[in-house]
């Protein structure tokens, strides 16, 4: 699906929200839902940053780290991939206080979702690095580059382009997973919707608006990642041409 189609879908979703907001049955819920959407975006943004950092560090540790680092990175990846994000969220929020570690709900949400997605992302990074043609490694070695220089100047820029599509999918999954944070008392978009539904029983207007807001946020993220991929691919092509 091209960027033009995605933009058209985004405009349609935003227009649908604006149109529904003109009707009394829907407009009374919009301010509260938008307030929840802001918190959802904050958690998703910070969680995505943490996920990228942990994904890159874990991948590099597994590929090039000393043996203890490889073990630690592997344990991180397998634990967070092999257990439920909901269980991880509850463990950080309800179990850590038993060991004297108290974290607020917002911090727990960012940590749980970021670490969970980062574990999956590390495999994207590792696969992208290993997909770089062997000739690139050999040419870098022939230029007498150190391993750090090789990764920074030659390998990672090429691997970056291959990482973007799977990371885009992971970011969308993280955005949708923010609905779980309502279970630890955070007033995100899902929590606001549930709260309004329980007090008014207006299920159709509330969750129609929620669906469209989530769709709009996901489309904005997808468009951003497509543009980033396009720009990175052009830059890489120019570098190869030179």
Secondary structure (H, E, C), the chain: CCHHHHHHHHHHHHHHHHHHCCCHHHHCCHHHHHHHHHHHHHHHHHHHHHHHHHHHHHHHHHHHCCHHHHHHHHHHHHHHHHCCHHHHHHHHHHHHHHHCCCCCHHHHHHHHHHHHHHHHHHHHHHHHHHHCCHHHHHHHHHCCCCHHHHHHHHHHHHHHHHHHHHHHHHHHHHHHHHHHHHHHCCCCHHHHHHHHHHHHCCHHHHHHHHHHHHHHHHHHHHHHHHHHHHHHHHHHHHHHHC
Pull the structure tokens for residue 69: 């680092």
- Predicted pLDDT of residue 142: 75
3-241 topology per CATH? MetI-like fold (1.10.3720)
Give me the average pLDDT of each 10-residue run along the chain (242 residues): 88 94 90 94 96 95 91 95 94 94 94 96 92 78 77 83 91 94 91 92 92 95 91 62 46
- Predicted pLDDT of residue 235: 55
Taking phi first (over 0 means left), then psi (-120 to 50 degrees means alpha), and beta for anything else, what does residue 201 get? left
pTM of the model: 0.90
- Predicted pLDDT of residue 141: 74
Pull the structure tokens for residue 155: 């390998």
- Predicted pLDDT of residue 242: 44
- Predicted pLDDT of residue 241: 47
């Amino acid at each position: 699906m091209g960027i033009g189609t995605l933009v058209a879908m985004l405009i349609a979703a935003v227009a649908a929200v604006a149109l529904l907001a003109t009707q009394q049955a829907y407009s009374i819920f919009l301010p509260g839902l938008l307030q929840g959407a802001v918190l959802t975006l904050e958690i998703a943004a910070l969680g995505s940053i943490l996920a990228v950092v942990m994904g890159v560090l874990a991948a590099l540790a597994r590929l090039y780290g000393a043996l203890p680092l490889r073990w630690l990175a592997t344990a991180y990846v397998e634990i967070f991939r092999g257990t439920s994000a909901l269980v991880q969220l509850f463990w950080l929020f309800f179990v850590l206080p038993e060991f004297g570690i108290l974290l607020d709900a917002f911090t727990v949400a960012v940590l749980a979702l970021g670490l969970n997605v980062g574990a999956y992302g590390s495999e994207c990074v590792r696969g992208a690095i290993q997909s770089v043609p062997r000739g690139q490694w050999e040419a870098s070695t022939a230029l007498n580059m150190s391993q750090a220089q090789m990764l920074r100047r030659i390998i990672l820029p090429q691997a970056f382009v291959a990482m973007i599509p799977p990371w885009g999918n992971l970011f969308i999954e993280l955005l949708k997973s923010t609905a779980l944070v309502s279970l630890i008392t955070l007033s995100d978009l899902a929590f606001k919707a549930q709260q309004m539904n329980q007090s008014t029983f207006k299920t159709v207007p509330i969750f129609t608006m929620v669906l469209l807001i989530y769709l709009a946020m996901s489309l904005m993220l997808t468009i951003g990642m497509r543009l980033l991929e396009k720009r990175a691919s052009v830059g890489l092509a120019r570098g190869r041409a030179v």
